[in-house]
């Protein structure tokens, strides 16, 4: 691939994939790969799903894209279905193209409404690719919660804690990533998050749940923030909601939507509220509901967690962190992670390689038999790597 510029920082491992189906990718030679990373954590219901393909074809045959002043009823239907899943009755949705954009617009709306300029997030959050998000030298307060990870009083976190005292009095919004932590699957303590939300809200700041990774059933609930007993003002949804198609959504709760009516906000890009993306969102939500995939993610996630914990030997496999079907497996060093990762690819299994951890985020459709099969191969691979290290 001489003329393609790859700049994600990842090496291309399999350049000749020609087919996909459900949990599997197939290369030109017909070799199959079980995709336990769901692409870039996007194919929430698996690759090449017939029902979704049918929806895409129908929508393309009616209206894929139109100008800002013309549209199709699918937008309203889709907005209603995602707002219902989020429990944002009477809220509003704006359909966009990437997770980064859903965060960006939520942050812009929060700044517009609060007239504050500083955004708050946890120091290890990943929020997207845009410079307004990646350039943390300007208008950001990064709350370092390292010491909360080892705090013995995690459940009793109170407002007098030194960590919380560092929060600036006025921020436009707190962007909360409920559990990915730059891909390392660390779950901030519930009491700490509730306190941060209280401090920000008491000073009229907004709360944005960054559900780009944790949303759409990934953590065993529709959204990751639902493990925290908080009510965000905005929810940024991406990845899994398009099942591989680049659509994202910023959800706005009823109160905030009313505020935006009184203080109009403008943001436009060419593909905002495109009917094609909206039709896919509605189809994915319906598929998850019809197949009871949130319960399946809880059930199969618990099974996978049990299996993964059983391979922790503190010699090579140090720790497993997970919630629902989102896992990080910490490995002793990067060399061993690379060996396990490469061996798994040879055997036809794709997991994420994050240097000191492996990421495992299969589609919500993964079955018990597939989990059992993968764990058997993972055990063999670890024994092999142990023998030849």
Ligand X SMILES: Cc1ncc(COP(=O)(O)O)c(C=O)c1O
Q: Select from 98, 121, 226, 365 the one that contacts ligand X (CB under 6 A).
A: 98
Closest approach, Cβ 63 to ligand X, in A, equals 24
Dist CA 301 CA 324 (whole Å): 5
Q: With binding defined as CB under 6 A, does residue 232 bind ligand X?
A: no
- Do 28 and 18 touch, CB atoms closer than 8 A? yes
Q: Using CB under 6 A, which of the segments 1-9, 97-105, 263-271, 321-329 binds ligand X?
A: 97-105
Least distance from C-beta 303 to ligand X, angstroms? Answer: 24
Nearest to ligand X of 103, 249 (CB atom): 103
User: Distance (Å, rounded) from C-alpha 23 to C-alpha 366?
Assistant: 7
Say whether residue 251 binds ligand X (CB under 6 A): no
Residue 173 makes contact with ligand X by CB under 6 A: no
| CB of 360 or CB of 378, closer to ligand X | 360
Residue nearest ligand X, CB atom distance: 99
Q: Which of residues 113-172 bind ligand X (CB under 6 A)?
A: 126-129
CA distance 329 to 344: 14
- Residue 238 interacts with ligand X (CB under 6 A)? yes
Nearest to 249 by CA among 211, 193, 223, 306: 211
The answer to whether 78 contacts ligand X (rule: CB under 6 A) is no
Task: Work out the number of other CB atoms within 10 angstroms of the CB of residue 277.
Answer: 26
Closest CA to 215 of 236, 234, 200, 231: 236
In terms of DSSP H, where are the helices of 20-98? 38-41, 50-62, 74-86
Tell me, by CB under 6 A, how many residues bind ligand X: 15
- C-alpha span between 322 and 238 (Å, rounded): 20
Residue from 39, 91, 99, 220 touching ligand X (CB under 6 A): that is 99
- Quick one: which of 49, 196, 212, 235 contacts ligand X (CB under 6 A)? 212
Q: Note whether 51 and 283 are within 8 A (CB).
A: yes
Q: Does 328 bind ligand X (CB under 6 A)?
A: no
Round to whole Å and give the CA distance between 140 and 133: 9
Work out how close the CB of 332 gets to ligand X at its nearest, in angstroms, rounded to a whole number. 25
Q: Which residues bind ligand X (CB under 6 A)?
A: 98-100, 103, 126-129, 177, 180, 210, 212-213, 238-239
């Amino acid at each position: 691939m001489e003329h393609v510029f790859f700049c994600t920082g990842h090496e291309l491992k399999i350049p000749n994939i020609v087919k996909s189906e459900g949990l599997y990718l197939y290369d030109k030679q017909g070799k199959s790969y079980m995709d336990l990373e769901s692409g870039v954590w996007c194919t929430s219901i698996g690759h090449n799903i017939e029902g979704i393909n049918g929806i895409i074809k129908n929508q393309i045959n009616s209206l894929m894209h139109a100008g800002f002043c013309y549209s199709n009823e699918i937008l309203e239907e889709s907005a209603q279905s995602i707002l219902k899943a989020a429990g944002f009755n009477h809220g509003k949705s704006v359909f966009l193209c990437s997770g980064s954009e859903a965060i960006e617009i939520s942050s812009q709306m929060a700044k517009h409404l609060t007239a504050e300029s500083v955004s708050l997030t946890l120091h290890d959050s990943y929020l997207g690719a845009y410079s307004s998000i990646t350039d943390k030298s300007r208008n950001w307060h990064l709350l370092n919660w390292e010491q909360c990870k080892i705090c013995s009083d995690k459940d009793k976190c109170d407002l007098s804690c030194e960590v919380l005292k560092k929060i600036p009095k006025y921020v436009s919004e707190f962007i909360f990533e409920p559990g990915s932590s730059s891909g390392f699957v660390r779950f901030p303590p519930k009491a700490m998050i509730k306190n941060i939300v209280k401090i920000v809200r008491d000073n009229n700041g907004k709360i944005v749940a960054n559900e780009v990774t944790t949303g759409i059933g990934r953590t065993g609930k529709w959204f990751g923030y639902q493990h925290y007993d908080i009510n965000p003002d905005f929810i940024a949804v991406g990845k899994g909601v398009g099942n591989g198609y680049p659509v994202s959504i910023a959800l706005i709760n009823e109160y905030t939507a009313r505020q935006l009516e009184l203080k109009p906000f403008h943001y436009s890009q060419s593909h905002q509220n495109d009917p094609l993306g909206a039709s896919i969102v509605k189809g994915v939500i319906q598929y998850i509901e019809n197949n009871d995939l949130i319960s399946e993610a809880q059930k199969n996630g618990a099974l996978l967690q049990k299996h993964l914990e059983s391979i922790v030997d503190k010699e090579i496999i140090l720790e497993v962190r997970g919630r629902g079907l989102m896992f990080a497996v910490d490995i002793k060093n990067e060399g061993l992670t690379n060996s396990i990762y490469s061996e798994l690819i040879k055997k036809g299994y794709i997991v994420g390689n994050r240097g000191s951890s492996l990421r495992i985020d299969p589609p919500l459709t993964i079955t018990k038999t597939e989990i059992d099969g993968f764990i058997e191969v993972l055990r063999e691979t670890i024994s092999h790597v142990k023998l030849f290290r």
